[in-house]
Amino acid sequence: TTLDKPAPGRKPGAAARRRVSVLLPLPFPGPFDYALPDDGRLDDVRPGEVVSVPLGRRTETGVVWDRDGTLPPEFAPPPGRPVADGRLKPVIARAGLPALPAALRRFVDWVAAYTLSPPGLVLAMALRTSQSAQAAPAQGRAQGWAPADPPPAGLRDTPARRRVLDVASRDGPLGGAELARRAGVGAGVVRGLADAGALRPVTLAPAPAFAAPDPGHCPPTLGDHQAQPAQALRDLAAAGGFSVTLLEGVTGSGKTEIYMEAIAACLAKGRQALVLLPEIALSAQWTGRFARRFGAEPALWHSDLGPRLRRVTWRAVADGTARVVVGARSALFLPFAELGLVIVDEEHESAFKQEDGVTYHARDMAVVRARMDDAPAILVSATPSLETLANVGAGRYRHLVLRARHGGAGMPDVRTIDMRAHPPERGLFLSPVLAAALDETMGRGEQAMLFLNRRGYAPLTLCRTCGHRLQCPNCTAWLVEHRARRIVTCHHCGYQDPTPPACPSCKAESSLTPIGPGVERITEEARATFPDARILVMASDTLPGPAATADAVARIARREIDLVIGTQIVAKGWHFPHLTLVGVVDADLGLGGGDLRAAERTVQLLHQVAGRAGRAEAPGTVMLQSYTPEHPVMQALVLGDFENFMRQEAEQRRPGFWPPFGRLAALIVSADTPEAADATARALGEAAPHGDGVQVLGPAPAPLAILRGRHRRRLLLRTRRDIAVQPLVRQWLARVPPDRGARIDVDIDPISF
C-alpha cells in the first residue's frame, strides 16, 4: 500500500509525518511525496484518489500513486532523491472525483515506461477529461416525493389522496408531476399532501446518462461460416481472463456482426466493453448499428466531445453506468470500473499511432490494457498488420478467420489498368478504360467511386517559365493548391497563402501550373466528362466532422449520388450497397518514398477501398490505374492473395531484424538551425549503444527534414526481439549531455522505417 505507517514509538507529527506519493499530470520524472495533514482528515486516503496539492505557489490536481513498483525492473525509472520529512508539504483536500482504478494506474505506469514518457504526461491523458468536472457536480439532482412514515395524525382522507399515497409507496419516490400523472390526479393534490406533511421530499438519484444495452435485444441469425467464430468469441468473453484473438475476414464477411456477440457475452457477464475505431467519423454508423443490436446507444469518446458530455461520460465510465464505450485511442485511458473486453477494429490502421506528445500505438496499448484488467482483447481486420500476424504465427494470439462474404456476395473482381498502354488524354488523369467503365456503371443506374488519397487540387505548383516550385517556408514540403478556397497550403504545418497570381520568383504572369492531381482536380475532370452525374466529394476537409460524414454516407445509401470521389475517408468500413465500381486513380501513390512498410500499407489501404465495391447482390469491379501493374502489391490485390503477399513481406523483413522480427526505436533530433541539429545528432551517433543484436542507423535527415521550421535528424536503434530497447535508449540519452538548442524525441516502435 501507499501509506507509510509512522515508525513504532514515534508520535505522528512534524518529526515523522505520514507520506503519500502524488502523481501530477505534468512532465516530471515521477510522483512527488506529500504529507497527510495533521488533523487526520485525510488519514484514510487511498491510492487512486484524486487530490489537490500545493506545487510552488500553485495548487495542482494529482492522483495518490502506489509506491511499490508494479513495473518490470528493466522498465522502472531510477528512484528520485527522497525529501526529508520536515520539508514535505501537506495534501490540501480531496478533489471530489471518482478514484482511478488500480488497473488504470498500472496501465499509466506501463505506458510511461514503455514509451519512455514522463508518467505525469500519460496521467494527463487519463485526467484531462475530468479536470473541468471538479467544480460542478455531474448532474443536477431532482426532487421527488415519498410517503411520510408514520403519516401525520388527522390527515384528511380522500380517494384522490389515497391513490397518490398508494402510487408513491408502490413506485416512489417520484417527481411531483410524474406522481400526479400516474395517480390520475391534478398537481394540487400532490402539493396538498406535501403541505400536510403526508409526503416527504427526497433527492432522486440522477437518471443515468447512458441506458443499459440489452444483450438479448435483437440477436442476429448467424450464417454458417459465422456461427463457430461467434461462439468462440462469446466463450472467450464469458470466461474472461486475458487473451488476444485476431478476427480476420474479408470486408463484408460479418466481423462486426460477430464481435458484437462477444460484447453481448461481456454485457451478460456484467462487465464493460471498450471498442476502438481508427476514425471517429465511423462512429455514427457504428453507433446506429449497435443501437439496433442492443436497444441502447453506446457511450462515445473522442477528442471533439464537448466539455459537458466529456464530464458525464468520464463519470459514467467510472461508476459503471456506461457499459460500452466506442471511441478513439484516448478511450484507453478512461477509468473503467469493470472492464471485461477490449476490441480494436481495423487493427492495421496507422491512425492508431499517436504521433504527438506521448507517442504510443493504441492497438498495442489496447492489448496491454486488456492484460491489466485480465480481459480478452480482439483485434479485427481484413488485412491484419504484419505485427499481429507474427504474433499469431508465434502462438501468442489466437486466430479466427471468416472466409466468405455474408449472404453469398462475391468478392469484387480486381483488375489493373496499365497506364503505359492506356494513357489518359493530355492534361487528364482518368484512362479511357476507366472512363468507359464509369460511364457504363452509371448508365446502368449503379454507383461508382473514384479513390485518390490526396486532398486539394494539385500536390505541386510549378512555374513553367523559371522552374520555381511553391514550397512551404516552414517544412520540406510542397504547398498544395486548394482551388475552391483559392489558397495554397502546407499539409504538414497548416501554413497557407492566397494562390499567387504570378510566379513569386520570376514574376511571370499566368505561368504557374498545377502538377499532378488531387481529389478536387479529379472532380473537375469527372464533372466535365460526366456532366449529368450527381457527384459527391468525400475528403476530411470537405466533411467537417462525424455528422457531415454520416450525412454523406446516408445520401449515398439513398442513391442520391452517382459518383463518389474521395480520399482515405471513403476507404473505411462504410457499407454502400449500391456501389459496384471502384476506380483507384493512382494505385502506385503510396509506394514511393523508400519506407519499408510502404507496400504493406498500400495493400491494406487499397484492399480496404476495394472492399467498398459490390457488397450486396450486384458483383463489384475494382480498377487500379498503375504504371507498375507487375508490382507484387498490384498482383496481391488482383489475385486477392493477401496471405501470400504478407508471407513475402515477412521474408523481406526477417533477415535484417526489421519489425516485427526485431525491435525499433527512433530518436528524432530537432533544432532551430541545421548546425544545432547536426551537433546533437552527431553526439548521439558517437554515444550510440552497440553489442550483439544491437545496431544504430544514422544520423540521417528525418523523413521530413524540416518541419514547422525545425531541422530534424533521425537515428534508428534496431535490436533483436529478445532485447528491450527502453533501457538502451535510457542509458544512451544519459550519455549525451543535454543541449539547449536541440530537443530529442523518442518514438518506440515507429510505424515508418
Q: Which residues are annotated as a binding site for Zn(2+)?
A: 463, 466, 472, 475, 490, 493, 503, 506
Compute the least distance from the CB of residue 250 to ligand ADP, in Å.
7
Query: How do strand 662-671 and strand 143-147 relate by DSSP bridges?
Result: unpaired
Compute the least distance from the CB of residue 170 to ligand ADP, in Å.
42
Which of residues 345 and 586 has its CB atom nearest to ligand ADP in the complex?
345
Q: Among candidates 39, 46, 114, 47, which has minimal Cα distance to 74?
A: 114
Q: Residue 445: which region, alpha, beta or left (left: phi > 0; alpha: psi -120 to 50)?
A: left
> Cis bond leading into 220, ω under 30°?
no
Q: Do the Cβ atoms of 613 and 653 come closer than 8 Å? A: no
- Separation of alpha carbons 562 and 573, rounded Å: 20
Could you say whether residue 491 binds Zn ion (CB under 5 A)? no
- Separation of alpha carbons 95 and 724, rounded Å: 38
**Cα dihedral angle (298, 303, 308, 311), rounded to 10 degrees?**
70
Residue 252's binding partner among Zn ion, ligand ADP, none (Cβ under 5 to 8 angstroms by kind) is: ligand ADP
Q: Among candidates 114, 77, 117, which has minimal Cα distance to 724?
A: 114
Compute the least distance from the CB of residue 447 to ligand ADP, in Å.
16
Which positions ≥6 away from 457 have C-beta within 8 Å? Answer: 480, 481, 482, 483, 484, 514, 518, 520, 521, 524
Please name the amino acid found at residue 546: P
Which of residues 472 and 570 has its CB atom nearest to Zn ion in the complex?
472
Binding-site member from 22, 265, 358, 472 for Zn ion (CB under 5 A): 472
Which of residues 105 and 255 has its CB atom nearest to ligand ADP in the complex?
255
- Separation of alpha carbons 585 and 625, rounded Å: 6
Residue 335's binding partner among ligand ADP, Zn ion, none (Cβ under 5 to 8 angstroms by kind) is: none
Size of the chain in residues = 753
Which of residues 281 and 493 has its CB atom nearest to Zn ion in the complex?
493
Query: How do strand 199-203 and strand 143-147 relate by DSSP bridges?
Result: antiparallel
Binding-site member from 413, 495, 497, 674 for Zn ion (CB under 5 A): 495
- Separation of alpha carbons 374 and 242, rounded Å: 5
DSSP labels, 244-295: EEEEEE-TTSSHHHHHHHHHHHHHHTT-EEEEE-S-GGGHHHHHHHHHHHHS
Compute the least distance from the CB of residue 442 to ligand ADP, in Å.
23
Residue 472's binding partner among ligand ADP, Zn ion, none (Cβ under 5 to 8 angstroms by kind) is: Zn ion
Residue 474's binding partner among Zn ion, ligand ADP, none (Cβ under 5 to 8 angstroms by kind) is: Zn ion
Which spans of this chain sit near ligand ADP (rule: CB under 6 A)?
220-223, 226, 249, 251-257, 406, 573, 575
Which of residues 578 and 710 has its CB atom nearest to Zn ion in the complex?
710
Which of residues 227 and 436 has its CB atom nearest to ligand ADP in the complex?
227
Compute the least distance from the CB of residue 253 to ligand ADP, in Å.
4
Compute the least distance from the CB of residue 576 to ligand ADP, in Å.
10
Which of residues 476 and 628 has its CB atom nearest to Zn ion in the complex?
476
Annotation: binding site? 463, 466, 472, 475, 490, 493, 503, 506
Residue 661's binding partner among Zn ion, ligand ADP, none (Cβ under 5 to 8 angstroms by kind) is: none
- Separation of alpha carbons 204 and 364, rounded Å: 42
- Separation of alpha carbons 611 and 153, rounded Å: 75
Residue 229's binding partner among ligand ADP, Zn ion, none (Cβ under 5 to 8 angstroms by kind) is: none
Paired strand residues for 274: 325, 342
Q: How many CB atoms lie within 10 A of CB 686?
A: 9
Compute the least distance from the CB of residue 222 to ligand ADP, in Å.
5
Compute the least distance from the CB of residue 288 to ligand ADP, in Å.
11
Which of residues 310 and 612 has its CB atom nearest to ligand ADP in the complex?
612
Which of residues 181 and 575 has its CB atom nearest to ligand ADP in the complex?
575
Residue 555's binding partner among Zn ion, ligand ADP, none (Cβ under 5 to 8 angstroms by kind) is: none
Binding-site member from 35, 332, 366, 490 for Zn ion (CB under 5 A): 490
Could you say whether residue 474 binds Zn ion (CB under 5 A)? yes
Site string (514-533) toward Zn ion, x via CB under 5 A: --------------------
Residues that bind Zn ion (CB under 5 A): 472, 474-475, 490, 492-493, 495
